[in-house]
Amino acid sequence: MATGSWTQTRGRASSSLSPRRFHGRLGYESVGLVAENLRLHCPPAYPVLVRAGKTAPNIDGFCVRRDRKFVITIDYGLQVDCVINCLLHEWAHALGWNYRLDKAADDFAAGLWDANEFDEVAHGPEFGIAYATCWRVFVRWVVPVLEAA
């Protein structure tokens, strides 16, 4: 059973399509809207459980694969716009997961790789494509609903 994890560190850029744009108008139901659309329009290989929890300092969230499911944990102390940003990032890890990443996670857990080496593999080209896919879902299906609210 291979497992692994990626983390989203605090500190984020802003853009005109960023959830930050809707700050003050977002409720936590918006997170459910994002998760619903990600499940529908870009489902990963295995089901995804999204939960709130305590994360390490300076870590917004992380994604792990447990057997035949992904678990995304997002720090419960974040504001809604940050939760959405983190969900998009962590969903991209689940969407882009592959054997190479399982092996890297196992090697990292065994102490064969340092955090920088692991982070480089975790945020490689596959992740970039998956992240772009998640943002396209957000822009195409979620932003219009948020703008109409």
* Domain of 41, in residue numbers: 5-11+18-143
Q: What pLDDT does 3 receive?
A: 47
DSSP at 113: S
Asked whether residue 148 is assigned to any structural domain, the reply reads no
Q: Residue 75 is part of a domain; what is its CATH number?
A: 3.30.2010
Closest by Cα among 35, 36, 97, 32 to 63: 97
Please answer whether residues 10 and 60 qualify as being in contact, where contact means their C-beta atoms are separated by less than 8 angstroms.
yes
Tens-of-pLDDT digits for all 149 residues of the chain? 344 554 555 544 444 456 766 656 678 899 999 999 999 999 999 999 999 999 999 899 999 999 999 999 999 999 998 999 999 999 999 999 998 888 998 999 999 999 899 999 999 999 999 999 999 999 999 999 988 88
Whole-number pLDDT of residue 11: 46
Q: What is the DSSP letter of 124?
A: S
Q: Specify the number of domains making up the chain.
A: 1
Do the domain assignments include residue 149?
no
Q: Is residue 127 part of a domain?
A: yes
Q: Which residue's entry shows tokens 């529908």?
A: 40
